[in-house]
C-alpha cells in the first residue's frame, strides 16, 4: 500500500540554522507529494507540493524536490526563524485514486532564538 516515512523524533535547532526533514515514500505509479505545516493551535496548511518527478516545490523559503529514483521528498530551508516552529507533515496522494492522502507521522520543529 501507500505509505510515507518521516525521520524519527523532534528537531531542535538555533535560529538561522539549516533545516532538513527527511521524507521517503512507498507508492505505485506517480503520486503527488506534499508538505503540510501545523502551527501551534492551528489546523494544517499546505506548505508546498510537487506533482511529478524532478519537480521542486517551494514556499516561504522552504524547498523540496520530488526524487523518484530515491522515492524521497526531503524538506529544506536554508535559514530558519523562530516563527518556523511547527509540526511538519509529509504526505502523498496516489495517482488515479480518490484523493486519499497518506501522511507521515510528522516532525516537531523547535527553533531557539
Partner 1 sequence: EAQVTQNPRYLITVTGKKLTVTCSQNMNHEYMSWYRQDPGLGLRQIYYSMNVEVTDKGDVPEGYKVSRKEKRNFPLILESPSPNQTSLYFCASSPTQEPSGNTIYFGEGSWLTVV
Per CB under 8 A, residues contacting partner 1 are 31-32, 34, 36, 42-46, 49-51, 89, 91, 93-101, 103-106
In whole angstroms, how close is the CB of 79 to partner 1 at the nearest point? 27
CB 78 within 8 A of CB 18: yes
Closer CB to partner 1, 77 or 107, in the complex: 107
Closer CB to partner 1, 33 or 111, in the complex: 33
Closer CB to partner 1, 79 or 95, in the complex: 95
As a whole number of angstroms, the distance between CA 21 and CA 77 comes to: 9
As a whole number of angstroms, the distance between CA 85 and CA 96 comes to: 34
CB 63 within 8 A of CB 53: no
In whole angstroms, how close is the CB of 15 to partner 1 at the nearest point? 26
CB 72 within 8 A of CB 64: no
In whole angstroms, how close is the CB of 21 to partner 1 at the nearest point? 13
Amino acid at each position: 500500500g501507500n505509505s510515507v516515512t518521516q525521520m524519527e523524533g523532534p528537531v531542535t535547532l538555533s535560529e538561522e540554522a539549516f533545516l532538513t526533514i527527511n521524507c521517503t515514500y512507498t507508492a505505485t505509479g506517480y503520486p503527488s507529494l506534499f508538505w503540510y505545516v501545523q502551527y501551534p493551535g492551528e489546523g494544517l496548511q499546505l506548505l508546498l507540493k510537487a506533482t511529478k518527478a524532478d519537480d521542486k516545490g517551494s514556499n516561504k523559503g522552504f524547498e523540496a524536490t520530488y526524487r523518484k529514483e530515491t522515492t524521497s521528498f526531503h524538506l529544506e530551508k536554508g535559514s530558519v526563524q523562530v516563527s518556523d516552529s511547527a509540526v511538519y507533515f509529509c504526505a502523498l496522494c496516489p495517482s488515479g485514486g480518490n484523493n486519499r492522502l497518506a501522511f507521515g507521522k510528522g516532525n516537531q520543529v523547535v527553533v531557539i532564538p
